[in-house]
Amino acid sequence: MGQMIIRDFDIPANDFSVAGEASSTVRKLLSQLGVAPDRIKRTAIAMYEAEINAVIHGRGGKAHVEISGDKIIIEISDEGPGIEDLELAMQEGYSTATDSIREMGFGAGMGLPNIKKHADELVIKSEKDKGTVVTITVNF
């Protein structure tokens, strides 16, 4: 069992202005730890997308981050409506976002595919009307 840095963040519902703060904080931590820039970038992109998903779809939620010597694990959880069809949600361009969200430049259906692209491991657990837990792992 090695050293581990743990951080917890609240993700407020429907507040885009705060979204991104958690991933910025994590980015700074990883820079301090001397993680390779490319790995930091992947982490920042994947985490931000997951945060935005929680804001848009999940009525806000929480981010739990664990950084160890060889990887970062980010768990974003919400108590939102859940993802009905996970396979469909993973397809590029598929989105259940409302028109008003789309007008703000979100909801292009690229969120989950983009997380998958940048994460080394992605686990999604979702239950209808209970919520979703997205677990992202990026190896260093």
Partner 1 sequence: MKQIYFHSVTLDKDKCRGCTNCIKYCPTEAIRVRNGKAVIIKERCIDCGECIRICPYHAKKAVTDPFDSIRDYEYKIALPAPSLYGQFGPDYTRERILKGLLGLGFDQIFEVARAAEIVTMATQKYLQNPDVKKPVISSACPAVVRLIQVRFPNLIDRLIKIKSPMEVAAILAKNEAMEKGIPADKIGAFFISPCAAKVTSVKAPYENSRSDVNGVLAIKDIYVPLLDQMKKQKTAADTHFDLSGSIGVSWAGTGGESTALDKGRYIAVHGIKNVNAILEQTVRESLKDIDFIEALACPEGCLGGPLVAENPFVAKANLRNEAERASAGIGQAPLDDDQQYIWESNVEYRPILKLDDDMVKALVKMQRIDELTDELPGLDCGACGAPSCRALAEDIVRDNAVLTQCIIKLREKVDELESE
116 lines the binding site for partner 1 (CB under 8 A): no
Q: Is 33 in the site for partner 1 (CB under 8 A)?
A: yes
Tokens 């997951």 locate to 50
**Residue 95 CA to its chain's centroid (Å):** 16
Q: In the complex, what is the shortest distance from the CB of residue 104 to partner 1, in angstroms, rounded to a whole number?
A: 11
Q: Of the two residues 82 and 137, which places its CB atom closer to partner 1 in the complex? A: 137
The answer for 123, left when phi > 0, alpha when psi is -120 to 50, beta otherwise, is beta
Is residue 13 involved in binding partner 1 (CB under 8 A)? Answer: no
Choice from 11, 27, 107, 126 touching partner 1 (CB under 8 A) = 27
Residue 123 pairs in a beta bridge with: 135
Region label for 52, one of left (φ > 0), alpha (ψ between -120 and 50) or beta (otherwise):
alpha
Q: By the 8 A CB rule, do 8 and 65 touch?
A: yes
Instruction: Please choose, out of 53-61, 62-70, 119-127, 130-138, the segment that lies near partner 1 by the rule CB under 8 A.
Output: 62-70
Q: How many residues bind partner 1 (CB under 8 A)?
A: 28
Please pick, from the candidates 8, 14, 15, 24, the single residue that binds partner 1 as defined by CB under 8 A: 24
- Separation of alpha carbons 43 and 117, rounded Å: 11
Per CB under 8 A, residues contacting partner 1 are: 2-5, 20, 23-24, 27-29, 31-35, 37-38, 40-41, 44-45, 48, 52, 67-69, 105, 140
